Amino acid sequence: MKKLLLFALCFSFLVGCKKDKTMEETPAVTSPDVKAQPVEFADAKYSEMGKKSLEDLSKGNMDAWMANYADNAKYYWNSGDSLVGKAAIDKYWRNRRGEVIETITFENEIWLPVKVNNLENVQKKGNWLLGWYKTTAKYKGGKSMTQWIHTSFHFDENDKIDEVNQYLDRASINEAMKK
C-alpha cells in the first residue's frame, strides 16, 4: 500500500511538471518491439465511475452504489480493518449510511485513472482509479467531521470494483460519533 501511495504521489508530480519543448516536437516512435510502459493513463470512464459512485453514496442510493462492486470485492482501511465480499461491504455501508451518517458530501475531487501493466509498482495489474476528495459527514448524533480521504479502486475485467483501499483519519470520525 505504501508503494501505491508513493507511486501515486510521484506520478501526480510528474504529470504536473511542464514538458520540455523539444519533447513536444519529437514524433512518437511506435513499433511492435516497444514494450508497454509499466504504468499509463487509463480510460477516463473510470473517473466518471468514481464521481458517480460518490454521488450515489451522498444521495443514499445504496443499490446504485453497490452495483459497482464485484461479488468477491475486498474493502480495506489504513487502520487494518477490512470487509470481504460484496454482501459484507453492502451490509456495512448500508447500515452506516442509513443508521449512523445523516448526510455525507464530497468536494474538491481529484481523480487519476491509471493502468498498471506490470507488478513492479503494485500488487495487481489492471485498471486503478486513485481518488482524493474532501469529505464532510454529519452523524445522527448531531456532530460532524471534515477531512481529506484518499481511496484507490481496482477494477476487474468486467469493470467492477474488486478492491478498495481507503486512507482516512479514524480519530476524527470517532470524535464526531461521540454522544
Q: Per-residue pLDDT tens for 107-165? A: 999 999 999 998 776 678 999 999 999 999 999 999 999 999 999 999 999 999 999 99
Which phi and psi (to 5°) does residue 43 adopt?
-55, 135
Q: How many residues does the chain have?
A: 179
Cα angle, residue 8 at apex, residues 5 and 13 outer, rounded to 5° = 130
Report the topology of domain 2-16+38-177. Answer: Nuclear Transport Factor 2; Chain: A, (3.10.450)
In this predicted model, what pLDDT tens digit does every residue of 21-62 receive, in sequence order? 444 444 444 556 667 788 899 999 999 999 999 999 999 999
